[in-house]
Amino acid sequence: MRAVQRFRVLAPFVAEETAEPITDVLPMGALQNVFRAQLVDDRSRVLGLHSVGDSYCHTNPLFAWGLCLGIDYGFELGRIVDEYPSDPEAQLLAFARLTAVEAEQCYRAVADEDRDRSLCWRGEQSEGAWLGRTFADFVRQCALPTVSLDREVAREVIRRANLLDLPDSLSHNRKIVGRITSLQAEVSPAAPGSVPSRDELLQLLGPRA
Ligand SMILES: Cc1cc2nc3c(=O)[nH]c(=O)nc-3n(C[C@H](O)[C@H](O)[C@H](O)COP(=O)(O)OP(=O)(O)OC[C@H]3O[C@@H](n4cnc5c(N)ncnc54)[C@H](O)[C@@H]3O)c2cc1C
């Protein structure tokens, strides 16, 4: 709470007159992004065992994708099982055909961004073909800051963030990528004092003096 209160944009969300915590702060340990392909070499791992939700594709909750994927795929699986009630192989193939591309792209997008975020926390930067960065870093560090500057960019970036498009679609959208690139000169740095420095943040997160 002390740390969140220190971010100018986040502070109102935890202000006493707005919000009342319903629990203590709860730790989330050892989060791992995981994608368990339904098919390995075009064959099932265990015939008749279908996985949905986090057991199929677990992504950092920061992205808020897990429940959407779980519910969506759960309904699809129900429909597919009704369609092929006594053919687990057909169920598996239909389910994999419908979900594998999206689930794997979600896993990859989140895993790549988490990898780059860890680099950033160490004071390093990713390297790649997207303004010198990886695509994941380009989305986070270049695309997101331009959302408030351009309606079309905002629409595409927000569609991706809310999984209305496949996570990779933005990388193929030359027009929007070009706009994001040319808007970089207009992105203003965070206003002085609006976010804590690393040292200040570590101090806030540490034990109270
Ligand atoms: C802090 C946080 C915020 C999130 N925010 C969002 C969001 O905004 N939008 C979104 O789409 N997703 C969000 N998610 C992700 C979402 O909650 C998960 O993707 C979703 O709950 C996965 O559903 P699931 O049924 O696969 O697993 P779970 O919801 O984890 O259910 C598994 C259940 O199995 C039980 N269980 C485990 N082992 C056993 C056992 N041996 N025997 C019996 N029962 C067992 C567990 O107790 C649990 O109840 C968030 C996740 C977290 C942690």
Q: Find the mean pLDDT for residues 187-204.
A: 90
**In whole angstroms, what is the distance from residue 32 CA to residue 147 CA?**
29
Q: Name the residue with the closest Cα to ligand 1, atom 9.
A: 64
Structure tokens at 74: 């759960």
Assess whether pLDDT exceeds 70 at residue 149: yes
User: What pLDDT is recorded for position 49?
Assistant: 92
User: What pLDDT is recorded for position 40?
Assistant: 86
* Ligand 1 atom nearest to CA at 55: 26
Q: What confidence tens digit (pLDDT) does each residue in 33-47 have?
A: 999 998 888 888 888
Q: What confidence tens digit (pLDDT) does each residue in 73-121 have?
A: 999 999 999 999 999 999 999 999 999 999 999 999 999 999 999 999 8
Helix runs in the chain, H state only: 2-5, 11-14, 66-83, 88-121, 135-137, 151-161, 169-172, 174-183, 198-205
Q: Find the mean pLDDT for residues 20-25.
A: 88
User: What pLDDT is recorded for position 81?
Assistant: 98
Ligand 1 centroid–CA 99 distance in Å is: 19
Q: What angle do CA 203, 63, 140 make, to 5 degrees?
A: 70
Q: Name the residue with the closest Cα to ligand 1, atom 8.
A: 64
User: What pLDDT is recorded for position 106?
Assistant: 98
Provide the phi-psi class of 99: left if phi over 0, else alpha when psi is between -120 and 50, else beta: alpha
- Choice among 33-42, 88-97, 124-133, 154-163 with the minimum mean pLDDT: 33-42
Q: How many CA atoms lie within 13 A of 67 on its CB side?
A: 3
Ligand 1 pocket, Cβ-based, cut-off 6 angstroms? 28, 53-55, 61, 64-68, 70
Parse the chain into domains and list their residue ranges.
15-104, 125-209
Assess whether pLDDT exceeds 80 at residue 208: no
Q: Name the residue with the closest Cα to ligand 1, atom 51.
A: 61
Give the three-state DSSP class for 130.
strand
* Ligand 1 atom nearest to CA at 69: 11
User: What pLDDT is recorded for position 194?
Assistant: 92
Assess whether pLDDT exceeds 70 at residue 209: no
Structure tokens at 21: 């915590």
